């Protein structure tokens, strides 16, 4: 079974960019991004062959992120906060940019546990990002949306061979590359970040981000190393509940679509509408996570709280009837 399917996506993506769409992009940035991609691909290939240690993998992602920051000049520079106005990030620009790229790249890498899962979720996320950036956020230029659409096309060509039963795997070569490119595309909208431009990519990437955050929380609560692998990721829990391989992947596709539809509501909402939408999303997400036992079957604070409230209300109603 071939395990470096990411190479096919990388080649298709860059062949299209350099030979068919080159005039659409600023060439200096295109070549700088290509160098960063090569660093990520090199890291992924070595990992697929020799299995790198987590810190070695992080080093490769960091080197690629530094290329993006210093050569492509894609970075966070300011942030606009409600009631506070525009805040210049100054020296924080570099660490925040690196943390963003590392976090999103690793998040996508972590969900690559089932045939077609990371590929399909990436297609949904990138398609939503391209639509949002082009029609709502006016991110830098149309070339960003074109580049995202190009990557979607490469992934769509790969998905039939990667869906269960897979004929070829993404490998870390593919999952690292996809996660890295998603993080870089998001940075175009985060260059002069606002509440909306920060929250939209986070919501769009709700599946990998949720899985990563709760994996870290689960390991901390169980007093295990954060880098230690386990069998309690989102896809593992759904399969343990009785879903088949394909059903699990399709359910997670559905969750990714829900996150995408929610993200499309933000540009149409005012500030308070966005805040309420975020709170409702977080509450719904927590209920879902507790229901499937993503952190643990015995850790359901919100569900237990709701049960206690309902029980007290029912007792109060029964007393009033008597």
Binding-site positions for Mg(2+): 109, 172
What SS3 string covers the chain?
Answer: CCCCCHHHHHHHHHHHHHHCCHHHCCHHHHHHHHHHHHHHHHHHHHHHHHCCCHHHHHHHHHHHHHHHHHCCCCCCCEEEECCCEEEECHHHHHHHHHHHHHHHHHHHHHCCCCCCHHHHHHHHHHHHHHHHHHHHHCCCCHHHHHHHHHHHHHHHHHHHHHCCCCCCCCHHHHHHHHHHHHHHHHHHHHCEEEHHHHHHHHHHCHHHHHHHHHHHHHHHHCCCCCCCCCCCCHHHHHHHCCCCHHHHHHHHHHHHHHHHHHHHHHHHCCHHHHHHHHHHHHHHHHHHHHHHCCCCCCCCHHHHHHHHHHHHHHHHHHHHHC
Q: Please enumerate, by residue number, every residue annotated as part of a binding site.
A: 109, 172
Which residue from 264, 148, 280 is spatially nearest to 196, judged by alpha carbons? Answer: 264
């Amino acid at each position: 079974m071939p395990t470096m399917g990411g190479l096919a996506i990388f080649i298709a993506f860059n062949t299209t960019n350099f030979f068919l769409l080159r005039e659409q992009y600023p060439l200096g940035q295109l070549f700088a991004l290509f160098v960063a991609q090569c660093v990520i691909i090199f890291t992924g290939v070595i990992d697929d062959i020799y299995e790198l240690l987590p810190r070695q993998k992080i080093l490769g992602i960091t080197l690629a992120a530094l290329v993006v920051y210093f050569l492509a000049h894609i970075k966070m520079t300011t942030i606009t906060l409600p009631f506070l106005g525009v805040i210049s990030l100054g020296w924080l620009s570099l660490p925040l940019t690196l943390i963003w790229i590392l976090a999103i790249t690793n998040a996508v890498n972590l969900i690559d546990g089932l045939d077609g899962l990371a590929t399909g979720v990436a297609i949904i996320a990138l398609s939503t990002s391209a639509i949002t950036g082009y029609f709502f956020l006016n991110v830098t230029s149309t070339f960003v949306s074109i580049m995202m659409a190009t990557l979607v096309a490469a992934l769509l060509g790969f998905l039939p061979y990667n869906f269960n039963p897979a004929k070829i795997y993404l490998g870390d070569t593919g999952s690292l590359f996809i996660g890295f490119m998603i993080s870089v595309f998001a940075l175009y909208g985060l260059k002069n970040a606002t509440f909306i431009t920060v929250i939209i990519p986070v919501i769009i990437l709700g599946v990998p981000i949720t899985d990563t955050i709760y994996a870290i929380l689960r390991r901390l609560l169980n007093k295990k190393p954060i880098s230690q692998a386990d069998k309690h990721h989102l896809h593992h829990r759904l399969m343990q509940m009785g879903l088949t391989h394909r059903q699990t992947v399709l359910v997670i596709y559905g969750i990714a679509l829900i996150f995408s539809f929610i993200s499309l509501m933000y540009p149409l909402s005012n500030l308070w509408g966005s805040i309420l939408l975020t709170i409702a999303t977080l509450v719904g997400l927590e209920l879902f996570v507790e229901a499937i036992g993503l952190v643990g079957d015995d850790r359901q604070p919100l569900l237990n709280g709701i049960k206690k409230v309902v029980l007290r209300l029912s007792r109060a109603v029964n007393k009033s009837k008597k």
